[in-house]
Amino acid sequence: MRNMVGVGAVVFVLIALGACSDESSDAGSGGAAGTDAGVGGQSSGGSAGTSTGGSAGTSTGGSAGTSTGGSAGSGGSAGTNTGGSGGSGGPWSPKPGLSWQWQLTGTIDESVDVAMYDIDLFETPQATIASLQAKGRVVICYFSAGSREDWRPDAADFAAADYGKKLDNWPGENWLDVRSANVRAIMKKRLDLAVSKGCDGVEPDNVDGQSNDTGFPLTKQDQLDYDGFLATEAHARGLSVGLKNALELVPDLVSQFDWALNEECLSFSECNLLKPFLDAQKAVFHVEYVDQSSQGAQKQQSVCGNATITGFSTLIKTWDLDAWRLPCP
């Protein structure tokens, strides 16, 4: 759930290639995109700056048409090339093993041959989303649902009472009180923005406030209610929605979300907690990080043969979440 200042969303595009592509991409760096920690006791990060601790988290997904993607507002038409259900059947729901790209910083590299792209809701131009969908990609749009980022265009809409403590290592970002009616109204507007820009789905980040020091007495039930609200509102708009990290909540939420996005579950020995998604035939998009791309090949060897991530769509990425990637074959 991390993201650099000014670059906080992710759009996911999934192509029905069944598994991760064997190609990697180079791209310019940008701000470091962040992630939040899972059950392994790591503290969540906001979407600003780079982070080295905690199980990172951002997720993406979305429904796309066979060649044009389709507006999420019309029910999200997941095409035959994206490996999931969609169209009149509902929002895009990808099966395990689909290829994907996650880029939250830098100019979007549209050449990666994958089923899904996960990109920033606010920072990505509508024309880029349309271009990706024209190539047959599903586009998932990232935004933080559990934190206020002071550089976002709607930051002034939050009341002072809506946000609490700062997120560790994420300047300009504060935890939200997910019980707030105003916070929920703002999130509805963000989902409306995703529809208007043509996103196939969304990746709401920072949805595990109950396990972090937010400044609010949030309970597990408070968080479950909020996350369920996000899923319901996304689906009402025809948007696919992924559960980002929040491993403690997986058993309660797997039926409400269409896929999962996890950061570093292997590093924190938590990947088994995502099994309910695979059992439900729902994709798990997974990332393990390296500090530099030059370390990627070695990391790829140690990660991709691990039996605990069988069925996952795993990428090796650098912390800044630019276009560079190494997929597990």
Domains and CATH numbers, the chain: 10-327 (3.20.20.70)
By the 8 A CB rule, do 176 and 146 touch?
Answer: yes
pLDDT digits (tens, 9 = 90+) for 140-149: 999 999 999 9
Give the Cβ contact number of residue 179 at 10 Å.
17
Mean pLDDT of the chain: 82
Sign of the dihedral through C-alpha 234, 193, 60, 217 = negative
Q: Decide if pLDDT at 29 tops 50.
A: no
- pLDDT confidence of 38, banded at 50, 70, 90? very low
Helix ranges (H only) for 197-307 are 220-236, 250-253, 275-279, 296-304
Lowest mean pLDDT among 31-35, 216-220, 267-271, 295-299: 31-35
Which of 22-26, 148-152, 267-271, 277-281 has the weakest average pLDDT? 22-26
The mean pLDDT value for 156-172 works out to 97
> Which residue's structure tokens are 């991390």?
2
Question: 62 vs 108, which has greater pLDDT?
Answer: 108
DSSP state of 43: P
Q: Report the interhelical angle of 181-196 vs 220-236 (nearest 10°).
A: 30
Beta strands in 108-220 (DSSP E): 116-120, 138-144, 147-149, 163-166, 173-176, 201-205
- CA-to-CA distance for 33 and 21, rounded, in angstroms? 22
Kindly report the pTM of this predicted structure. 0.78
Q: How far is CA 200 from the centre of its chain?
A: 13
- Separation between Cα atoms, residue 53 and residue 156, nearest integer Å: 30
Q: Which of the two residues, 319 and 32, has the higher pLDDT score?
A: 319
**283 contacts 85 by C-beta, under 8 angstroms:** no
Contacts with 98 (C-beta within 8 Å, 6 or more apart), sequence order: 14, 15, 16, 17, 18, 19, 82, 83, 84, 115, 116, 283, 313
Instruction: Identify the pLDDT of residue 314.
Output: 99
pLDDT cut 70: percent of the chain above it: 73
Contacts of 322 (CB under 8 A, 6+ apart): 27, 28, 29, 30, 103, 105, 106
Instruction: Give residue 89's pLDDT band: very low, low, confident or very high (50, 70, 90).
Output: low
| pLDDT band with cut points at 50, 70 and 90 for residue 117 | very high
Dihedral (Cα; 110, 299, 305, 254), 10-degree rounding: -60
Looking at residue 280, what is its pLDDT? 99
